[in-house]
Structure 1
Amino acid sequence: MFTSLMVFHIVISILLIVLVLLQFGKGAEAGLLSGGGDASFTGAQQGNILTKLTTVLAVLFLGNSILLAKIQSTKSSSSILDGDAPIAAPLNNDAPIEAMENKEEAADAKTETK
């Protein structure tokens, strides 16, 4: 099921890209489909149909993305970072009290030797 949903997602993605590229923006004199003598669509109908198809494909794309994410999250229960220790060193105020006392004793010893 996951593989078929991925193939469906790829097909939706390609169709969505093609539909967005076929549309023309405001002020554009001619879109990709407006030339070539195709009399089945007028300018307003063409934009209407392409806009509706783009909206439907965008909703399918988003819904399929959410479904794929949901399936993938239930498939794996652990993360690759679960066993790793944090790399960052603690900040000064987060350091253990013993380490702070040792630093203070070392600083006192340095000032006494000078």
Structure 2
Amino acid sequence: METIVLIVHVLLAAAIIALILLQQGKGAEAGASFGGGASQTVFGSDGSGSFLGRVTAILAAGIFITSFVLAVFAKDKAQTIGDAGIPDAATIEAAAPAQQAPVAEVPAVKESEIPSAGNN
């Protein structure tokens, strides 16, 4: 079920991107006064703006719904993992005994082996 919702979500996202790219910007209306209005007859006298705007709003609502459903799936999955007894990092650190790193022994240096600043 989660996979189906995820596929629908991705398809809705691709469709809304395509619809946004198809829509004309606000500056495109100025060209209509110079004879560019013939291409808007397919969608009626209002042009494609209202139709594409409604479809974009419907797709945005679909993305919202699928995002919400995916969030519920993720919450349920996280809760199931927590209930399964899988310990988190704090529990693992508390249960593990503290181990000290081995200390390397450094041989002692005699004073006669240390060069002085005055003996160049």
TM-score range, shorter chain: 0.5 to 0.7
Offset from partner CA, 1:62-94 (integer Å, 9 cap, x none): 11101111111101223x993149xxxxxxxxx
Give unmatched runs, 5+ long, in structure 2: 92-120
CA distance in 1, matches of 2:48, 2:28: 14
Q: Once superposed, what is the RMSD of the aligned Cα atoms?
A: 2.9
| 1:83 aligned onto 2:89 | yes
* Residue identity opposite 2:4 in structure 1: S
CA distance in 1, matches of 2:73, 2:55: 27
Shift in alpha-carbon separation, 1:18–1:36, aligned structure 2, 3 A: farther
Q: Give the number of aligned pairs.
A: 81
SS at match of 1:6: helix
Amino-acid identity (%): 32
Q: Note the C-alpha offset of 1:38.
A: 7.0
Shift in alpha-carbon separation, 1:13–1:81, aligned structure 2, 3 A: farther
Match of 1:23 in 2: 23
Give unmatched runs, 5+ long, in structure 1: 86-114
- Which structure is larger by alpha-carbon Rg, 1 or 2? 2
Match of 1:48 in 2: 50
TM-score for the superposition, normalised by structure 1: 0.59
Offset from partner CA, 1:9-53 (integer Å, 9 cap, x none): 0110100000010111111257xxx89957422462310000000
Shift in alpha-carbon separation, 1:13–1:25, aligned structure 2, 3 A: same
SS at match of 1:24: coil
Runs of 4+ that moved beyond 6 A: none
SS at match of 1:45: coil
Match of 2:13 in 1: 13
TM-score for the superposition, normalised by structure 2: 0.56
* Residue identity opposite 2:25 in structure 1: G
